Amino acid sequence: MILVAGATGLLGGDICRLLTERGKPVRALVRGTSNPERVAHLKRVGAERVRGDLKDRASLDAACRGTSAVISTASSTVSRQDGDSIESVDRQGQLSLVDAAAAAGVTQFILISFPSVESDFPLQSAKRAVEQRLRESGMAYTILQPTFFTEVWLSPALGFDPPSTKAQIYGAGRNKISWISTRDVAQFAVAALDNPQAKNAVIELGGPEPLSPLEVVRLAEQVTGKRFDVQHVPEEALRAQYASATDPLQRSFAALMLFYAHGKAVDMKGTLRAFPGQSLRSVREYFEATTEVLRETPPSAQL
d(CA 139, CA 287): 39
d(CA 53, CA 212): 38
Q: State the Cα torsion 224-164-178-255 to the nearest 10°.
A: 170
Q: What is the per-residue pLDDT for 79?
A: 64
Rounded to the nearest angstrom, the gap between the alpha carbon of residue 57 and the centroid of all alpha carbons in its chain is 23
The confidence band for 302, taking pLDDT boundaries of 50, 70 and 90, is very low
171 close to 233: Cβ distance less than 8 angstroms = yes
Angle of CA points 258, 263, 269, to nearest 5°: 145
Between residues 299 and 286, which one has the greater pLDDT? 286
33 close to 8: Cβ distance less than 8 angstroms = no
Q: What is the mean pLDDT of the chain?
A: 92
Do the bridges between strand 166-170 and strand 160-161 make them parallel or antiparallel, or are there none, so unpaired? antiparallel
The confidence band for 297, taking pLDDT boundaries of 50, 70 and 90, is very low
Q: What is the pLDDT of residues 179-192, one digit of tens each?
A: 999 999 999 999 99
189 close to 222: Cβ distance less than 8 angstroms = no
Give the mean model confidence (pLDDT) for residues 244-266: 96
Total residues belonging to the chain = 303
d(CA 298, CA 293): 10
Q: What is the per-residue pLDDT for 100?
A: 98
Give the mean model confidence (pLDDT) for residues 30-54: 87
Q: Residue 292 class from Cβ within 10 Å (0-12 exposed, 13-18 middle, 19+ buried)? A: exposed
The residue type at 197:
Q
Nearest Cα residue to 179 out of 244, 266, 258, 101? 266
The confidence band for 80, taking pLDDT boundaries of 50, 70 and 90, is low
Nearest Cα residue to 78 out of 208, 198, 301, 256? 256
Q: What is the pLDDT of residues 10-30, one digit of tens each?
A: 999 999 999 999 999 999 999
Helices (H), 113-247: 122-135, 150-153, 182-192, 213-224, 235-244
For every residue of 265-288, DSSP letters joined together read ----HHHHHHSTT-----HHHHHH
Q: What is the per-residue pLDDT for 178?
A: 98
Q: What is the per-residue pLDDT for 139?
A: 97
Give the mean model confidence (pLDDT) for residues 125-138: 97
Could you count the other beta carbons within 10 Å of the beta carbon of residue 244?
Answer: 10
Do the bridges between strand 48-51 and strand 69-72 make them parallel or antiparallel, or are there none, so unpaired? unpaired
Q: What is the per-residue pLDDT for 301?
A: 37
d(CA 27, CA 20): 10
E strand or H helix at 39: helix 36-45
Please state the pTM of the whole predicted model.
Answer: 0.91
| CB contact set of 217 (below 8 Å; sequence gap of 6+) | 167, 169, 173, 228, 230
Q: What is the per-residue pLDDT for 294?
A: 41
Q: State the Cα torsion 13-15-17-19 to the nearest 10°.
A: -150
Give the mean model confidence (pLDDT) for residues 96-118: 97
d(CA 151, CA 5): 20
